[in-house]
Amino acid sequence: MRLATLVTNTDFSAFAKARPLDDEKFATLIAEVRPDLVVTAFWVCRGEFPEDISAVDGVMTTGSPASVTENAPWMQQLEVLIKDIIERKTPVFGACFGHQIIAKTLSATVVRTPNGWAHGLIETNCVASRPWSDHENRWNRYGSHIEQVGALPDGACQSLETGPADRAEFAAFFEYGGR
């Protein structure tokens, strides 16, 4: 199987450069559980897009300090690509910004979080587990965001929410259009 990582992280600071880049992080996470998968990164935030998305079996979209509401040219191109991915019924996963731009592409809203910035350890609650998921119903993860999905796309089911300190009601969704 082949996976594409669509890298959206626009942080090129010295701090970020001193640590593994998002393409490496995602490839490492996948390799730990599925070393047989081939993961190819595309730095979409730099204008590097896959020539043929049908050549992959799944797509992951990373997080970013950028806002999906900026509508930068690369984001507009990414939305066109996401529409194509969904029309092809290729599985797609989005982390943070990735989740938000997928929702926006599907005509959902992305809004500022009511409590302002969330930084650090964020409580996450599972509201609808999947048969393939073996995580706990509640866990903590590190994150940083000021925006969230404000309403789910039509046909989507909520999967995760964050705890009361953060309150990103729709932290994850799945099965857009009943898939």
List, in order of start, the domains of the chain with CATH numbers: 1-105 (3.40.50.880), 108-179 (no CATH)
Reply yes or no on whether the pLDDT at 91 is more than 70.
yes
Percent of the chain with pLDDT over 70: 87
CA distance 178 to 162: 24
DSSP notation for 119-172: EEEEEEEESS--TT----SEEEEEEEESEEEEEPPTT-EEEEEE-TTT--SBSE
CA distance 8 to 64: 6
Average pLDDT of the chain to the nearest whole number: 87
pTM over 0.85: yes
**Which residues, at least 6 apart from 84, have a Cβ–Cβ distance to it below 8 Å?**
53
pLDDT at 131: 63
pLDDT at 62: 95
Reply yes or no on whether the pLDDT at 166 is more than 80.
no
Reply yes or no on whether the pLDDT at 141 is more than 80.
no
User: Which range (11-20, 77-86, 147-156) has the least confidence?
Assistant: 147-156
pLDDT at 12: 94
CA distance 9 to 56: 21
Summarize pLDDT for 106-123 with one digit per residue, the tens.
999 999 988 888 888 877
Find residue 120's DSSP bridge partners. Answer: 143
| Mean local confidence (pLDDT), 129-155 | 76
CA distance 31 to 83: 27
Cα torsion through 98, 103, 106, 111, rounded to 10: -130
pLDDT at 179: 44
